[in-house]
A = this chain, B = another copy of it.
Amino acid sequence: MAEPLKLGLAGLGTVGSATVRMLLRSRDELAARAGRAIELVAYASKDPPKDNTIDLSKIRKVESPVALAADPGIDVFVELMGGEGDPAKSSVEAAFKAGHGVVTANKALIAKHGVSLAKLAEQNSVPFSFEAAVAGGIPIVKTLREGLGGSRISRVYGILNGTCNFILTQMQKEGRSFAECLKEAQKLGYAEADPTFDIGGFDTAHKIAILTSLAFGTEIDSDAIYIEGIESITLADLEAADDLGYRVKLLGVAVCSDGGIEQRVHPTMVPKGSVIAEIDGVLNAVAVDSDMMELTLVGPGAGGDATSSAVVADIVDLAAGRKVHPFGRPVGKLGKLSRAPMQRHEGGYYIRLAALDRPGTAATIARRMADENISLESIMQRRRKGRPHGGDNPGAAGASASVVLITYATTEDAVRRALAAIEKEGVLAEKPQVIRIEKS
């Protein structure tokens, strides 16, 4: 049997601790799979381990992660500190320069510096893996890099943030408001005290940026992503969606079209009965459409156990000497991403308007949509809850009715222009709500 693979691991938070635990308890199993022993020989951590049951007494502690990364006693540096800046970035660079491979779970680092780091790894002929950076335990990086043969991918999309999916699921199932469900998520540890990064869609954007590169063989372009969070989603939207045969999910979507590659993150209507629509709670799901097939992977997107299992899978691949380009092909063969502008996005739209309840409003709305050649698949008008029914007081000042429109395929541009024109007419009591519909 070959020499053991020696690991230096930085970061002992949830994922770091779980990784150490798995490496220690599954030593024999991993050696059988890798064809050689895998030994954790050194670690660095500014805090004590999150999980204090792991025994680090026989493992050498190194003061700084950068020093650990360059330590001549290790073969592979396992970066589990997180964050797009230092010390994560400088320690990964130090590892490459010292001729060490790197395994990381750091999505921010990959989304921001993945390609330049892959280049540095290439120059130093060392492996660089980041399965755990996207969708936790779901092996989507490996699937896109190695699993799809000669298929040509047209779209990759999914539920990539468990916090948002938990909140949307709770709202839908329990009929409670966004604010209440966010509070519950925070209480359960699914959301941070400052939840902006998750609920604003930024975490999903990091992940879709990485998936786009793997799916289409392009450089990462995280500045080109259209991002909307879930803060504006109301119970009224979820109820209307349910009536119309949809669920609302925060999706990250990357589509390759004639106009280039669209990258977007926004609340999305997906048809009930589709696999994505049925994914509830903190689960993640990623779907890949190619000319050959549609594939969907469902599993836990976060948590120590799931994420560390992806980290360890990468380590085993390295130990077994399985070589793969970090983005599926040499960095020099990654294309520049040609951005498809969001205004040209085509698809169906859900539009909810709080329309003033007076004569002519419906006609105005219909005319402005027609002006932009937007065809309507359905219109649903509902009195708002708590308002008197009966329609015997149509002109009462301030009374408004909820009008829900579902459009046939149209463009983002047309929808924006039509809504601006409707707002200008002064027939709306609130800003319009717009949710894009994604075919599945």
Is A295 an interface position by the 8 A CB rule? yes
Is A149 an interface position by the 8 A CB rule? yes
How far apart are the CA atoms of A324 and B149 in the complex, in Å? 17
Binding-face segment, A64-72, A201-209, A328-336, A379-387: A328-336
Residue from A131, A147, A290 having most chain B Cβ neighbours under 10 A: A147
> With A292-B137, A294-B300, A298-B275 as given contacts, are A313 and B26 in contact (CB-CB < 8 Å)?
no
| Closest CB in chain B relative to A26 CB, distance in Å | 3
Is A295 within 8 A of B296, CB to CB? Answer: no
Q: What are the residues of chain B within 8 A of A292 when measuring CB–CB?
A: 22, 137, 305-306, 308-309
Q: What are the residues of chain B within 8 A of A317 when measuring CB–CB?
A: 146
Q: Which residue of B lies closest to A296 (CB)?
A: B298
Is A143 an interface position by the 8 A CB rule? yes
- Cβ-defined partner of A323 (8 Å) among B299, B306, B320: B320
| Closest CB in chain B relative to A174 CB, distance in Å | 16
Is A230 an interface position by the 8 A CB rule? no
Is B300 within 8 A of A297, CB to CB? Answer: no
How far apart are the CA atoms of A398 and B91 in the complex, in Å? 81
Is A142 within 8 A of B149, CB to CB? Answer: no
- Cβ-defined partner of A295 (8 Å) among B32, B138, B294: B138
How far apart are the CA atoms of A161 and B331 in the complex, in Å? 40
Q: What 1/0 flags go to A80-96 for Cβ under 8 Å of B? A: 00000000000000000
| Closest CB in chain B relative to A145 CB, distance in Å | 8
Is A347 an interface position by the 8 A CB rule? no
Is A139 an interface position by the 8 A CB rule? yes
Is B294 within 8 A of A297, CB to CB? Answer: no
Q: What 1/0 flags go to A133-159 for Cβ under 8 Å of B? A: 000111100110011111110000000
| Closest CB in chain B relative to A101 CB, distance in Å | 15
Q: What are the residues of chain B within 8 A of A300 when measuring CB–CB?
A: 293-294
Is B150 within 8 A of A26, CB to CB? Answer: yes
Q: What are the residues of chain B within 8 A of A315 when measuring CB–CB?
A: 149
Q: What are the residues of chain B within 8 A of A314 when measuring CB–CB?
A: 149
Is B151 within 8 A of A309, CB to CB? Answer: yes
| Closest CB in chain B relative to A330 CB, distance in Å | 7
Is A137 within 8 A of B298, CB to CB? Answer: no
> With A293-B305, A298-B298, A322-B324 as given contacts, are A313 and B275 in contact (CB-CB < 8 Å)?
no
Q: What are the residues of chain B within 8 A of A415 when measuring CB–CB?
A: none
Q: What 1/0 flags go to A213-254 for Cβ under 8 Å of B? A: 000010000000000000000000000000000000000000
Is A29 an interface position by the 8 A CB rule? yes
Q: What are the residues of chain B within 8 A of A294 when measuring CB–CB?
A: 299-300
How far apart are the CA atoms of A315 and B26 in the complex, in Å? 30
How far apart are the CA atoms of A320 and B325 in the complex, in Å? 10
How far apart are the CA atoms of A104 and B242 in the complex, in Å? 45
Q: Which residue of B lies closest to A313 (CB)?
A: B149
Is A311 an interface position by the 8 A CB rule? yes
| Closest CB in chain B relative to A325 CB, distance in Å | 8
Is A273 an interface position by the 8 A CB rule? yes
Hey, which bits of chain A sit against chain B, CB under 8 A?
22-23, 25-26, 29-30, 32-33, 35, 131, 136-139, 142-143, 146-152, 217, 273, 275, 278-280, 290-300, 303, 305-306, 308-317, 320-325, 328-330, 333
8 residue pairs bridging A and B, Cβ less than 8 Å apart: A22-B149, A139-B142, A142-B146, A149-B313, A275-B279, A275-B298, A294-B300, A321-B323
**Shortest 6 CB-CB contacts between residues of A and residues of B:** A149-B312, A26-B150, A139-B147, A149-B309, A149-B313, A295-B299
